[in-house]
Structure 1
């Protein structure tokens, strides 16, 4: 049985936490930041834990995580 290829772009975007869930960075914090409030930018810094439905799709792309 051959090895399953990991989708590299997905493996760079998601990390596994100790509980087994996946976390990711939020969007909208790369450019055009001058019109966004400090409150919004501060809350966008937090990482998000994926829901179980999304998690199963991502784990198909990262078989050896």
Structure 2
């Protein structure tokens, strides 16, 4: 069987953790931050894990 190609767009946006979970970054922080509270913008900087519902699908686009 041939190797599975990694989806390059997803590879730039998501990273696999050591335990095999997938880390993502939050949306809505690139612009129009003047009307958002400093606390909200600060919390948007932090990464988070993708939901369990999306894990199977994301594992297919990020096989390695």
For residue 18 of structure 1, report the CA deviation from its aligned partner: 2.0
TM-score normalised by the chain length of structure 1: 0.87
1:20-52 deviation per Cα after TM superposition (whole angstroms, max 9, x unaligned): 211100000101111111010011111111122
Please give the alpha-carbon distance, in whole angstroms, between the structure 1 residues aligned to 2:6 and 2:34.
37
Please give the alpha-carbon distance, in whole angstroms, between the structure 1 residues aligned to 2:17 and 2:61.
17
After the TM superposition, which parts of structure 1 deviate over 2 Å for at least 4 consecutive aligned residues? none
Compute the RMSD of aligned alpha carbons.
1.1
How many residue pairs match? The answer is 64
Structure 2 stretches lacking a partner, 5+ long: none
For residue 4 of structure 1, report the CA deviation from its aligned partner: 1.5
TM-score normalised by the chain length of structure 2: 0.88
Structure 1 stretches lacking a partner, 5+ long: none
Does the alignment pair 1:50 with 2:50?
yes
Instruction: Give the match for residue 30 of structure 1.
Output: 30
